[in-house]
């Protein structure tokens, strides 16, 4: 069975099958420690900036999410073209052009990082940006070790196969409006498929799609949980509304790669 190597960033048949079955695939040791260290340095610079792209936690005011990163630092400008991120996306979506829809780090700071409610990404992409189809892929890179303590993501295994489920708009709980999935929907889906909570060392990559239901608890631990996230979308499936600021959904459709 072929495995993924630095030289060959494509997913193995098993990894692709896991993605299709579960809705998320976990790729440990995708980025080296020295590469992650460079990203930390770049991120430290960006988090010190007082700009609208740094979205803050409601209660503590610390940065929750730093957005538009490929336009703000050359380290992230390079990262969005990395074949280790893009090759798996093209395996799923085909060879057509992909653009960077959103480029961010969710910081989940030690002690103060707040929750992400149950949701799936397409609800926001569709309702806010008028994206036609749930084709976008979310490519994560852990910038810290993710453990049971520091607010790991939880995915409802297989929930992507039900298509977009019912949502409602929450403008109160989180630091920007989020289309969330209620307990009456999450409960039965989780009873059926169970939850997956990927953990692993810094440098681990995740790929998941636009309709898998996911959430994450607050970070009460003394360790941050920084995760880089690149959302890619086929150019042919681009947004039809520009009402949100560019850093929420970039308007530059130049193909990545
Ligand atoms: C998280 O960073 O915990 C949530 C990220 C997401 O919903 O994509
Ligand atoms: Mn999400």
The per-residue pLDDT for 251 is: 98
Ligand 1 pocket test, candidate residues 67, 229, 249, most atoms within 8 A of CB: 229
Residue 221 pLDDT > 60, yes or no?
yes
Residue 1, CB half-sphere, CA atoms under 13 Å: how many?
8
The two three-digit tokens of residue 87, written as one number: 């090759």
Cβ neighbours, 10 Å, residue 165 = 16
Mutate to test the pocket of ligand 1, among 24, 116, 119 (most ligand atoms within 8 A of CB): 116
Contact (CB, 8 A) for 59 and 112: yes
Mean pLDDT, residues 231-240: 98
Distance, CA of 154 to CA of 151 (rounded, Å): 9
What's the confidence (pLDDT) of residue 171? 86
The closest of 55, 74, 57, 78 to 66, measured between CA atoms, is 55
What per-residue confidence (pLDDT) applies to 165? 87
Indicate whether 163 belongs to any domain: yes
Taking the CA of 123 as reference, the closest ligand is 2
Asked whether 232 and 79 are in contact (CB, 8 A), the reply is: no
* Residue 65 CA, closest ligand 1 atom number: 2
Question: How many angstroms does the Cα of residue 214 sit away from the middle of ligand 1?
Answer: 8
- Residue 220 domain-assigned (yes or no): yes
The verdict on residue 109 lying in a domain is yes
Q: Could you identify the residue written with the tokens 């949980």?
A: 225
Pairwise CA distance, residues 144 & 28, whole Å: 12
Residue 8 located in a structural domain: no
Q: 173 or 191, which is more confident?
A: 191
Atom of ligand 1 nearest to the CA of 229: 8
- Does residue 235 lie in a domain region? no
* Rounded Cα distance, 151 and 218, in Å: 5
Question: Which atom of ligand 1 has the smallest separation from the CA of 153?
Answer: 3
Q: What is the pLDDT of residues 137-159, one digit of tens each?
A: 999 999 999 999 999 999 999 99
Residue 230 CA, distance from chain mean position? 6
- Tell the residue nearest (CA) to atom 2 of ligand 1: 106
Average per-residue pLDDT in the chain? 95
Assess whether pLDDT exceeds 80 at residue 176.
no
Pocket of ligand 1 (CB under 6 A): 106, 116, 138, 153, 214, 216, 227, 229
Residue 250 placed within a domain: no
Strand ranges for the chain from DSSP E: 24-27, 54-56, 63-67, 98-106, 116-119, 137-142, 154-156, 168-170, 178-180, 195-196, 205-209, 214-216, 227-234
Looking at the domain assignment, is residue 249 inside a domain?
A: no
Q: What is the pLDDT of residues 3-55, one digit of tens each?
A: 444 579 999 999 999 999 999 999 999 999 999 999 999 999 999 999 999 99
Q: What is the tally of structural domains in the chain?
A: 1
Atom of ligand 1 nearest to the CA of 216: 3
What range does the domain containing 214 cover? 13-224
- Portion of the chain with pLDDT greater than 70, in percent: 97
* pLDDT of amino acid 3: 43
Quote the pLDDT of residue 173: 79
Domain containing 102 — which CATH number? 2.60.120.620
Classify residue 113 by its DSSP letter. B
State mean pLDDT over 211-222. 98
Is 31 within a domain? yes
Mutate to test the pocket of ligand 1, among 216, 225, 248 (most ligand atoms within 8 A of CB): 216
pLDDT tens digits for range 85-115? 999 999 999 999 999 999 999 999 999 999 9
């Amino acid at each position: 069975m072929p495995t993924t190597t630095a030289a060959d960033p494509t997913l193995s048949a098993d990894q692709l099958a896991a993605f299709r079955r579960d809705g998320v695939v976990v790729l440990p040791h995708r980025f080296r420690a020295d590469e992650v260290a460079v990203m930390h340095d770049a991120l430290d610079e960006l988090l010190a900036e007082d700009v609208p792209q740094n979205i803050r936690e409601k209660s503590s005011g610390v940065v929750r999410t730093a957005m538009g990163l490929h336009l703000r630092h050359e380290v992230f400008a390079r990262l969005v073209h990395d074949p280790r991120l893009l090759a798996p996306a093209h395996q799923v979506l085909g060879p057509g052009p992909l653009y960077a829809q959103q480029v961010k780090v969710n910081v989940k700071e030690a002690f103060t990082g707040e929750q992400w409610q149950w949701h799936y990404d397409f609800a926001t992409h569709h309702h806010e940006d008028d994206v036609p189809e749930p084709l976008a892929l979310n490519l994560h890179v852990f910038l810290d070790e993710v453990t049971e303590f520091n607010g790991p993501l939880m995915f409802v295994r297989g929930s992507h196969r039900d298509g977009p489920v019912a949502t409602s708009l929450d403008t109160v709980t989180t630091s920007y409006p989020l289309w969330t999935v209620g307990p009456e929907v999450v409960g039965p889906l989780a009873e059926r498929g169970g939850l997956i909570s990927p953990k692993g060392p810094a440098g681990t990559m995740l790929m998941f799609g636009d309709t898998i239901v996911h959430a994450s608890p607050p970070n009460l631990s003394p360790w941050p949980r920084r995760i880089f996230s690149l959302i890619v979308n086929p150019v042919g499936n681009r947004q039809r509304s520009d009402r949100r600021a560019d850093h929420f959904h970039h308007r530059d459709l130049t193909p990545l790669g």
